Structure 1
């Protein structure tokens, strides 16, 4: 009785179809297994927009300003005068000044904002069920089997 004796007849027929060059005295069974093919795609995840917005703020500033005042002092004098009184009017002009506040505006750069992309790598755990084929030997009767196992384990 050979290694493959005990398989059902349709399995034997399938084996005979796949192994045409083997004799009934020996055979080779190819064992297969599934492995994961992992691919990564770069897909859009969103967008960042960086823009400026004008914000208005009322500012109250205390500005010291100066102005001139005319102080009039009158005192009594009792002195004789040699000048006759004429009907001419005598006028003294004293110019008076004050500081006026002029407000202007100018623009200054107060800072800058930069935006750039950087790639960050992390790990995701993927769980998937994989299939593999294993050889099973069925015995019928008193059969000795000597295993010359290499890479594949026989059960």
Structure 2
């Protein structure tokens, strides 16, 4: 059971309170004041008790124990917090300082903090060359030679004296290839936070008190 100096008072709120003298029910802890601990009992009719804080005997993680009894608890039932002077009659006489020695026992606790770092994601666009084939219909003209018998109306232009050339133009389509860039698709890059749980462990050191010689009862 922890002593009062090591009690984390914020953890005590909403925990059970009991009297160590007769193991009596002191209700549930509602508030921790400078000089008192407010507890509350009852379901339909709730009663408030302002128990002197210096009567706290210890806290075991589930129950806050007081060095008091049920009869004493009824004397602290009230609706408002009492003054510090009203508690003087309940204070126990302090032990002489020359026979009491307090030794602090130290324990390490892990304190975890977070720091922010920045990573970089590199996005690279690179050209990829590939061959593509496109079929294109093209048209061209060809000569067709047809021989027909002459008629009586066909007149010769003159006697044949030399070679004569007659040129007939033949048209043809030729393919010209050009390349034009266009937007094929868009790549959308988004950033979103992802939360993950990491387990951090380390060794901690605490002090332990060993007493040699004649042993006395520990409180």
Q: Could you say which TM-score interval applies, normalised by the shorter chain?
A: 0.5 to 0.7
Residue 158 of structure 2 is aligned to residue 87 of structure 1: yes
Residue 125 of structure 2 is aligned to residue 38 of structure 1: no
Q: Residues 4-153 of structure 1 correspond to what in structure 2 (within 5 A)?
A: 23-43=97-117, 46-77=119-150, 79-81=151-153, 83=155, 85-87=156-158, 95-136=169-210, 140=214, 145=217, 147=219
| 4+ residue runs over 6 A deviation | none
> TM-score, length-normalised on structure 2?
0.43
Q: Is the 8 A contact 1:68 1:96 kept in 2?
A: yes
**Greater strand share, structure number:** 2
Closer, same or farther in 2 for the Cα pair 1:129/1:146, shift >3 Å? closer
What are the Cα deviations for residues 10-31 of structure 1, in whole angstroms up to 9, with x where unaligned?
Answer: xxxxxxxxxxxx6233333333
Give 3-state SS (helix, strand or coil) of 2:99's partner: coil
**Greater helix share, structure number:** 2
> TM-score, length-normalised on structure 1?
0.56
Q: How many residues align?
A: 122
Unpaired segments of 5 or more residues in structure 2? 1-95
Whole-angstrom CA distance in 2 between matches of 1:104 and 1:82: 52
Q: Is the 8 A contact 1:67 1:99 kept in 2?
A: yes
Report the RMSD for the aligned CA atoms in angstroms.
Answer: 3.6
Closer, same or farther in 2 for the Cα pair 1:82/1:25, shift >3 Å? closer
Matched residue, 2:80: none
Which structure has more relative contact order (CA 8 Å, sep 6+)? It is 1
What are the Cα deviations for residues 53-101 of structure 1, in whole angstroms up to 9, with x where unaligned?
Answer: 2222233333221112231211335x43485x44289x98754321121
Give 3-state SS (helix, strand or coil) of 2:104's partner: coil
Unpaired segments of 5 or more residues in structure 1? 1-21, 148-155
Closer, same or farther in 2 for the Cα pair 1:82/1:107, shift >3 Å? closer
